[in-house]
Amino acid sequence: ETGVTQSPTHLIKTRGQQVTLRCSSQSGHNTVSWYQQALGQGPQFIFQYYREEENGRGNFPPRFSGLQFPNYSSELNVNALELDDSALYLCASSLGASGTIYEQYFGPGTRLTVT
Amino acid sequence: GNSVTQMEGPVTLSEEAFLTINCTYTATGYPSLFWYVQYPGEGLQLLLKATKADDKGSNKGFEATYRKETTSFHLEKGSVQVSDSAVYFCALSKGSNYKLTFGKGTLLTVNP
Assess contact for A41 and A89: CB atoms under 8 A. no
Question: What does the pLDDT read at residue B54?
Answer: 94
Residue B18: pLDDT over 90: yes
Question: What does the pLDDT read at residue B40?
Answer: 86
Residue B38: pLDDT over 90: yes
Give A29 or A17, the one with higher predicted confidence.
A17
Give bridge partners of residue B86 from the DSSP assignment.
B108
The answer, for A101 touching chain B at a CB cutoff of 8 Å, is: yes
Q: Which residues of A7-30 are buried (b: 16+ CB within 10 A; e: fewer)?
A: eeeeeebeeeeebebbbbbbeebb
Residue A98: pLDDT over 60: no
Residue A2: pLDDT over 80: no
The answer, for A66 touching chain B at a CB cutoff of 8 Å, is: no
The answer, for B104 touching chain A at a CB cutoff of 8 Å, is: yes
In A, minimum Cα distance to B9 occurs at: A40
**Phi, psi for residue B73 in degrees, rounded to 5:** -155, 65
Q: Look at residues A82, A68, A62 and name the one whose alpha carbon lies nearest to residue A33.
A: A68
Q: Are A55 and B97 a contacting pair at CB < 8 A?
A: yes
- Mean pLDDT for chain B? 93
- Mean pLDDT for chain A? 92
Give the Cα separation of B37 and B61 in Å (integer). Answer: 14
Question: What does the pLDDT read at residue B88?
Answer: 97
Assess contact for A16 and A80: CB atoms under 8 A. yes
Amino acid at A4: V
Residues in chain B within 8 Å Cβ distance of A35: 100
Contacts of B58 by beta carbon, 8 Å cutoff, 6+ apart: B48, B64
Question: What does the pLDDT read at residue A51?
Answer: 87
In this prediction, residues A28-55 reach a mean pLDDT of 92
Question: What does the pLDDT read at residue A1?
Answer: 57
Residue B58: pLDDT over 60: yes
Question: What does the pLDDT read at residue B76?
Answer: 98
Choose the closest CB to B44 out of A40, A90, A94.
A90
